[in-house]
Amino acid sequence: MGFRWAFEEKTLEPALKKEIPSEKPKLELVPLNRGSFEAAPLLKRCLAAFVDYSVIGLGVYLFFFFSGLFFAAASLPLRQVFGAQSGSIVSAAFIMFSGFMAWVFLHGYFIYFEFTQGRTPGKKIFGLRVSARGEGLPSFRQCLIREASRYLDGLGFLGLYLASRSKSHQRLGDQWAHTWVTHSAGEENQDEFFYLIEDDYQTLKRMLHPRLPEEAFTQEFLKFSHTRWILKTTPERLDEVYQWKEKIFPFVNASQAERLEEESLVRFFAEFCRRSFGQWEREAA
């Protein structure tokens, strides 16, 4: 099942549709994958859960470490005043307090992130979102239901079994709270695209049929684009962009490249070189 999500980010597709003259053959545009969501694959959900529980585990470990130090320090003067028996009272208090705080942290983590952002850090990495159909973010009540049912879902991997049987991969908590965990490839890869967003990159790649230049050219070109658009350590000189545009032309479909603004073309080619050259380098290694 798939449904669309509203994004602020604009993509190139509407602009291309508008700009294509009717007498020219229409470009084959790739479907938007940034805005389209599908039911989250179970493997990704499990990996996201693993990352989330690792973060929680680390937080609980650090909390136990520091609260342990505090209680140990506090027990010393108490032992001197009330005798050795007060040590066991402090230990019991430490275990109860820390256990309660760990429980609060475990559930608070999921409720806070899912209610405020629709996704936990683990889900963010794998491009997953918890959504309430038609309303976007889940409500606080829905987050609570999801969280409360975690115990039942965890019993003998019941949640995993139910999710694998369900078409929309809903575990028991999802079914009760009427929420869906969805996946977007575009969201998952968004930080891996530096110079333009993935949809535009894929569209332009089909349009321009780029070829990778030789190594020295690619290295020099990437140094230019990296310092100009990513690090922003070189001044913005338009003549340099024009020069690079001329050099790039032999490596792309020139007639289609003419339709693009100079900077857009150079930025696209930088992303292409970064991705393709990296892949070439890895294969060569």
Partner 1 sequence: MNSGEKISVPLPQGQWKPAGMGVRLLATFIDGFIISVLSYPLTLMLQWSGGVNFQASATEPESVLFAQMVSITIWTAAVFFYYGYFYSQKGSSPGKMIFRLQVMKSETGLRLSWARAFIRESIGKTLSTMTLLFGYILGLLRQDRKTLHDFLVKSQVLQKVKN
Residues that bind partner 1 (CB under 8 A): 8-12, 15-16, 19, 50-51, 54-55, 57-58, 61, 121-122, 124-125, 190-197, 200, 204, 219, 222-223, 225-226, 230-232, 258-261, 263-264, 267-268, 274, 277-278, 281-282, 285
Helix axis angle for 198-208 and 262-284, nearest 10°, is 90
In the complex with partner 1, the residue whose CB is nearer, 155 or 231, is: 231
In the complex with partner 1, the residue whose CB is nearer, 51 or 102, is: 51
Amino acid occupying residue 63: F
- Shortest approach of partner 1 to residue 139 CB, angstroms? 25
CA distance linking residue 60 with residue 53, whole number of Å:
10
- Shortest approach of partner 1 to residue 71 CB, angstroms? 23
Identify the three-state secondary structure at position 37.
Answer: strand
| Structure token digits, residue 176 | 């009760």
Tell me the HSE value of 38 on the side-chain side, using a 13 A CA sphere.
11
In the complex with partner 1, the residue whose CB is nearer, 54 or 243, is: 54
Centroid of chain to Cα 229: 22
| Structure token digits, residue 196 | 């333009």
In the complex with partner 1, the residue whose CB is nearer, 145 or 268, is: 268
- Shortest approach of partner 1 to residue 168 CB, angstroms? 26
Go through 83-105 and write b for each residue having 16 or more CB atoms within 10 A of its CB, e for each that does not. Answer: eeeeeeebeeebeeebeeebeee
In the complex with partner 1, the residue whose CB is nearer, 54 or 164, is: 54
Q: Identify the H or E element spanning 95.
A: helix 85-116
Residue entry with tokens 């309660």 = 100
In the complex with partner 1, the residue whose CB is nearer, 150 or 226, is: 226
- Shortest approach of partner 1 to residue 264 CB, angstroms? 4
- Shortest approach of partner 1 to residue 145 CB, angstroms? 26
Amino acid occupying residue 165: R
- Shortest approach of partner 1 to residue 115 CB, angstroms? 18
In the complex with partner 1, the residue whose CB is nearer, 11 or 149, is: 11
- Shortest approach of partner 1 to residue 232 CB, angstroms? 8
Report which of 149, 139, 150, 151 is spatially closest to residue 114, judged by C-alpha positions. Answer: 139
